[in-house]
Amino acid sequence: MRRAARRPDRIVTIAPLPDAGPEPMQRLIVVPAHQSGSVQHFYHFLFGYLLPFIEHCHALRGTHRFLLRDCGPMNGLLRELDGFAINIVAANLVLNSLVGLNSAVGNLPKIILPGFDSPATYARPRFLQIRRIVQDLYGPRIAAAAARHPLAASERFVLVIDRAPPHPFYNTAASENRSAGAARRSVPNMAEIHAAIAARHDAALIRLEDCSLFEQIHLFSRAWRVVGQHGAGLAHMLWAPSGGGLVEILPNPGRRPVQAVPNGTYFRNLCNALGLAWHVVPQADAHGRVAPEEILAAIA
């Protein structure tokens, strides 16, 4: 059983509560302006809401209570942001606040956050600024994850990402986009790939869903190479060190040019913006086996 503090899939929906004490905090509605998709899904949540929120609102932590929209299973990650006073409210209340339709929120001040969940919005200076802010705020918590992942201390650490089955939420009417995780794409022999890598390098096979947000950041910040199938978790290449690189397993039945594969350039462009190495290994279909020797060649 996962520990409660490490469950990003736990859904937490609470109404805004009055502030206690003689000097209540100013409430601020935080409106996502993500580029596409749904902030209930990790890539759009991380790049379209969570990191823009930290970037723009960290200086207001002591004076403001932040009203953020319900992001389904992603709410658990919001709960990890100690230092921020956060209440999670229904998505429609956040949207209604823009046009003043709801008297409870219509007159509250609000901030609209420009997301960067599209390759067209990637900007190296902004990425580096966000990395600095997160390190300043949560450096000790990120460093503390080292005790749980000793292999990550290696200078040639290879992080192998396995996709987990989707949270049941994504099969319900509450999900803005149905399905997620291994139901969308998977590599059935990822354990075999990990074993082949581990015979040559210090390598860990990880499901990100089993890790806290700060463990995820630590693992990617230590990875010399990341091996993973195309998916939202690869957005964490944002934290990768100089000299790091990504081996992306990309479903591509016709072996078309990467730019012709839907969303195929997302993580190539992210690596390019950060000056990281990137290599693609094509996959015959979204759930097809991948030859370990192809991965080993890409790592080399």
Q: Per the structure, how many domains does the chain have?
A: 2
Evaluate whether residue 126 is within a structural domain.
no
Evaluate whether residue 151 is within a structural domain.
yes
Tens-level pLDDT at each residue, the chain (300 residues) = 344 444 443 444 444 444 545 558 899 999 999 999 999 999 999 999 999 999 999 999 999 999 999 999 999 999 999 999 999 999 988 988 887 666 767 788 999 999 999 999 999 999 999 999 999 999 999 999 999 999 999 999 999 999 999 999 999 999 999 889 999 999 999 999 999 999 999 999 999 999 999 999 999 999 999 999 999 999 999 999 999 999 999 999 988 999 889 889 999 999 999 999 999 999 999 999 999 999 999 998
DSSP conformation class of 46: I
One domain for residues 97 and 159 = no
Torsion angle, alpha carbons of 221, 224, 230, 234, to 10: 10
DSSP conformation class of 239: G
One domain for residues 106 and 24 = yes
Evaluate whether residue 169 is within a structural domain.
yes
One domain for residues 143 and 259 = yes
The CATH number for 281's domain is 3.40.50
One domain for residues 87 and 136 = no
State how far the Cα of 237 lies from the Cα of 119, in Å rounded to an integer. Answer: 14
One domain for residues 28 and 154 = no
The parent domain of residue 175 ranges over 131-299
Closest CA to 295 of 199, 193, 216: 193
State how beta strands 225-229 and 157-161 pair.
Answer: parallel
